[in-house]
Amino acid sequence: MSLDQSRAPIYEALEEFKKMRVVPFDVPGHKRGRGNPELAALLGEKCVNMDVNSMKPLDNLCHPVSVIREAECLAAEAFGAAHAFLMVGGTTSAVQSMILSVAKRGEKIILPRNVHRSVMGAMILCGAVPVYVNPDCDHRLGIPLGMSVSAVKKAIQQHPDAKAILVNNPTYYGICSDLRSIVKLAHEHNMLCLVDEAHGTHFYFGEDMPVSAMAAGADMAAVSMHKSGGSLTQSSLLLAGPAMQEGHVRQIINLTQTTSGSYLLLSSLDISRRNLALRGKESFGKVMELADYARSEINHIGGYYAYSKELINGDSIFDFDRTKLSIHTLDIGLAGIEVYDLLRDEYDIQIEFGDLGNILAYLSIGDRKQDIERLVSALAEVRRRYQKDKTNLMTQEYIEPQVVVSPQEAFYAQTEHLPLLETSGRVCSEFVMCYPPGIPILTPGERITDEILDYIVYAKQKGCSMTGPEDADIEFLNVLKEG
């Protein structure tokens, strides 16, 4: 029986709750903003009135039986999933729950190395062992590509006991793997297929889009509704196919997700799902038009390369997400992070991220043509004012990791604190990454090489925001004790 996608059960319950004039002798302690007038002034009376605790009329996120349950059923139908779970710990929480649902200590998961740190965080939590499929790299653009089907086949042959294959689809840059073929391979070898679909919410609603995880037959997918779907930051969905036991997945989620789910986040998921179900096709059609217009204008400036479907090679670039406005900058003699900084500091334009050779301007349902024109104009001016010789610029080449021990073993091992440049040859016990995008350069258990150290030093010099280590300045790294 089809559900009514014009419904928003959590939002409707909150509207009814407001009429009840309930006297609060529960948490949160600000008591509808009365105890914190400055917060109420900042957020508004309506917002603080909706910041309430779980109670019978509003259901409970840990064990939903009424309005949250209805909202999850509507989300499952809208996304073509067997089950959907509302997540208030961001897609990080969804990714971790996905991995914890399928693997235990010592069990293997096949995955690309260019995954988000949340994937490796889950490996530390459950003790699973990564089997890396090294992605191809576009040497001109300096970006890692998708998982080639042949590389996945090889990993399966070498590790037939792996429990699952995890695919990052699409990548931050918009690159998509051959998801249907990878799902088929996984299932033929009694493995599950998990998809980090943080940047692919729109695949479920747009036309002429790459295939979504659920449509491709994947077993689980983590979807960032707050990225392209319009919900509040930190709200996300975990989708599951029919092979997954709903009760087991809920138990895993409840290991790490808060027992005090924010109704601001929950209602934003509910309202955003309704919006996408009713208007998503039209909305994302406009986003693609904007992105195509922006690419055309930027490529006319000269020096920049805003890439799209022309990159498709049928394998490691099986498809491309046209909503992603990814732009190569090295031909104007500037690293992506330098263009990122100039746009923010000189032109008051905040883009998503810059790496060593590219920038990403994230387009979604809230963007307007005049905003695109301002970005294009600023990029033209950056080229005119700051262009220089591109000699000696490093591209962001993929560095194949040397895994020595499992992430969990390395993270909890006895360590010592060494100056960065004295760590070559040692095994790292912490993360090092540029954020965004949050893809680790080093993860716990990997050997530190001269090539990696050169990359870290160069990225710091260019102004990349480096995160992960205990030492915030990344002058020191924690490594495993020897002997």
Q: How many CA atoms lie within 13 A of 52 on its CB side?
A: 24
**Hey, which residues does 446 pair with through a beta bridge?**
403
Q: Is the pLDDT of residue 69 over 80?
A: yes
Share of the chain above pLDDT 90, in %: 83
More confident of the two residues 148 and 389: 148
- Sign of the four-CA dihedral 435, 220, 63, 11: positive
Return the pLDDT at 396. 61
Helix (H) and strand (E) counts in the chain: 15, 20
Residues 376 and 415 in one domain: no
379 CB-near residues (< 8 Å, 6+ apart): 298, 301, 304, 327, 339, 343
Q: Is the pLDDT of residue 272 over 90?
A: yes
Lowest mean pLDDT among 76-80, 214-218, 288-292, 404-408: 404-408
**Average of pLDDT values for 316-345?**
96
- Residue 331 sits in a domain whose CATH number is 3.90.1150.10
Return the pLDDT at 436. 65
Tokens 């009424």 -> residue: 66
- Residue 432 sits in a domain whose CATH number is 3.90.100.10
- Sign of the four-CA dihedral 334, 338, 339, 343: negative
* 334 within a domain of the structure (yes/no): yes
Quick check: bond before 242 cis, omega within 30?
A: no
**pLDDT confidence tier of residue 289, bands split at 50, 70 and 90:** very high
Dist CA 323 CA 293 (whole Å): 11
| pTM across the whole model | 0.94
Of 355, 386, 417, the position where a domain reaches its end is 386
Return the pLDDT at 439. 78
More confident of the two residues 137 and 242: 242
Residues 369 and 429 in one domain: no
Cα distances (Å, whole numbers) of residue 49 to 9, 16, 33, 268: 18, 12, 7, 15
**Average of pLDDT values for 328-347?**
95
* 337 within a domain of the structure (yes/no): yes
Q: Are the C-beta atoms of residues 341 and 378 closer than 8 Å to each other?
A: no
Percentages of the chain per state (helix, strand, coil), in multiples of 5: 40, 15, 40
* 291 within a domain of the structure (yes/no): yes
Return the pLDDT at 394. 67
Of 356, 386, 416, the position where a domain reaches its end is 386
Return the pLDDT at 313. 96
**pLDDT confidence tier of residue 445, bands split at 50, 70 and 90:** very high
Dist CA 443 CA 120 (whole Å): 7
**pLDDT confidence tier of residue 400, bands split at 50, 70 and 90:** confident
Return the pLDDT at 264. 97
Return the pLDDT at 466. 81
Residues 305 and 370 in one domain: yes
* 304 within a domain of the structure (yes/no): yes
Number of domains in the chain: 2
Residues 289 and 335 in one domain: yes
**Average of pLDDT values for 51-72?**
95
59 CB-near residues (< 8 Å, 6+ apart): 10, 13, 65, 66, 67, 68, 69
Dist CA 455 CA 474 (whole Å): 13
Query: How is residue 159 written in tokens?
Result: 């590790």
* 183 within a domain of the structure (yes/no): no
Q: Is the pLDDT of residue 397 over 80?
A: no
More confident of the two residues 393 and 42: 42
* 440 within a domain of the structure (yes/no): yes
Residues 369 and 318 in one domain: yes
Residues 441 and 361 in one domain: no
Return the pLDDT at 395. 66
Residues in the chain: 483
Q: Is the pLDDT of residue 5 over 70?
A: yes
Q: Is the pLDDT of residue 340 over 70?
A: yes
Q: Is the pLDDT of residue 177 over 90?
A: yes
Q: Is the pLDDT of residue 398 over 70?
A: no
**pLDDT confidence tier of residue 448, bands split at 50, 70 and 90:** very high
Torsion-angle region of 464 (φ positive above 0: left; ψ -120 to 50: alpha; else: beta): beta
**pLDDT confidence tier of residue 438, bands split at 50, 70 and 90:** low
Q: Are the C-beta atoms of residues 50 and 267 closer than 8 Å to each other?
A: yes
Return the pLDDT at 434. 78
In 302-429, which residue ranges form alpha helices assigned H by DSSP? Answer: 336-347, 369-386, 407-411
DSSP string, 107-161: -EEEEESS--HHHHHHHHHH--EEEEEPPPEETTTTEE----HHHHHHHHHH-TT
The average confidence (pLDDT) of the chain is 94
**Average of pLDDT values for 77-104?**
97
Of 354, 386, 418, the position where a domain reaches its end is 386
Dist CA 482 CA 474 (whole Å): 21
Return the pLDDT at 476. 95
Q: Is the pLDDT of residue 79 over 70?
A: yes
Per the structure, the complete domain to which residue 472 belongs is given by 407-480
**pLDDT confidence tier of residue 319, bands split at 50, 70 and 90:** very high
Tokens 């990029």 -> residue: 379
In 216-368, which residue ranges form alpha helices assigned H by DSSP? Answer: 225-228, 246-256, 263-301, 336-347
Dist CA 53 CA 383 (whole Å): 52
Dist CA 14 CA 18 (whole Å): 6
Closest alpha carbon to 335 in 311, 353, 313: 353
